[in-house]
Structure formats: C-alpha cells, structure tokens
Amino acid sequence: MSETGQNEAPQARERSFRSQTEVRAYLDSEGYKVALSTVNLHAKKRLLMPNENGVYPLSAVEAYIRAAQLKRKDGSEPGAEDVLKRKAQLEAQKLAEQLRKLQFANDLEEGRYVLKDQVELDLADRARVLQADLLNFFRTNIDDFLIMVGGNLQAAPQALEWWEERLEDWMDRYAKTGKISLEAA
C-alpha cells in the first residue's frame, strides 16, 4: 500500500525463465541454434547469469546472446533483420526520391513548371515593353495634354521631359524591388 492507503498497481515484470532448459527453449523459438549442453557450459562460464532469485530475466538472456555471439539457424546475426529492414527502407526512400525527381523533370518538360530565371527574364521584357508604351503614349499625346490644361505648345519639350523623368523614376523603383518570389504561399 502507498502512503495514501491505496493499493499500487503492480509493475509490469520482465519476462523470466526458471531454468536453463527454458532459456534454451526460448532461444530455439527465437531462431537461435544452440544445444542445451552449450547453454549449460555458457552458464558455468558465467556468460548466462541468473538474478538473485535464481531465474534468468529476459535482459540477461539478451545479454547472453550478445556475449556468446550466438548465431541464428539461418546464419544471420542477431538484429540482422533490423539492418535488412533499415536497408530496405533506405532503398525505398531513394527510389521515391528518384521517382519524384523524374516526375518533376517530366512536369517541367510538359510546361507545368516555369524556371524562375525564365520568369524573371519575361518580367524584364514586359517591363521594357511597358516603358516603351508609356514613353510612346507621352510623346504622341503631349500636344493634347497641353491643350487640355490650356498650356503653351512651346512648353511641350519640357513637359515631355518631366514625364520621361517620372517614368524613369517609376521604372527604377520597379527594377530595384529585388528578387521576385515565386514560391507558393
């Protein structure tokens, strides 16, 4: 009982074996090739040690497997299946990555993706077209602008120069905005 007067839950006990015969039966069920005489010999050599109650806990048996370097009936090392599983997982990951890269290359070839450099070049081309169109607009409509504001047609060159300077400022600001992010949000 605990200090509160309630019964404590029994702790999970480690699996244990009462005799070397039981240890040998367990080893056999786990696929290890070992005779009872070998288990007895190893116990005498203190490779297999019982606890203070004279039983062999599973942790002691696992330590014995490592200490005696027991082999499985199929010749594999203890934990070899874990290594093989891990190797298979890594191979599967590698193949999945190769497939992903191949699918991306196919998608790129089919035009589903556009390279960032190409987008930036296209945007720069469009900016040049925009600039040319705006300059053309200013140059062809300066007379109408001056008439609308009741101005002097002789001032057209100065007004056009003022517009062109503003346009250059706008285009410089546009060009200096830095990298254009194409990442999905």
- Provide the pLDDT for residue 178: 59
- Provide the pLDDT for residue 81: 67
Q: How far is CA 64 from the centre of its chain?
A: 39
- Provide the pLDDT for residue 179: 57
- Provide the pLDDT for residue 152: 76
Domain spans in the chain, listed from the N-terminal domain onward: 16-68, 79-113, 116-175
The angle, 0 to 180 degrees and rounded to 10, between the axes of the packed helices 20-29 and 36-44 is 120
- Provide the pLDDT for residue 94: 93
Residues 19, 61: Cα–Cα separation, whole Å: 11
Per-block mean pLDDT, blocks of 10 residues, the chain (185 long):
48 79 89 87 88 89 86 68 79 94 90 83 81 80 74 78 82 66 47
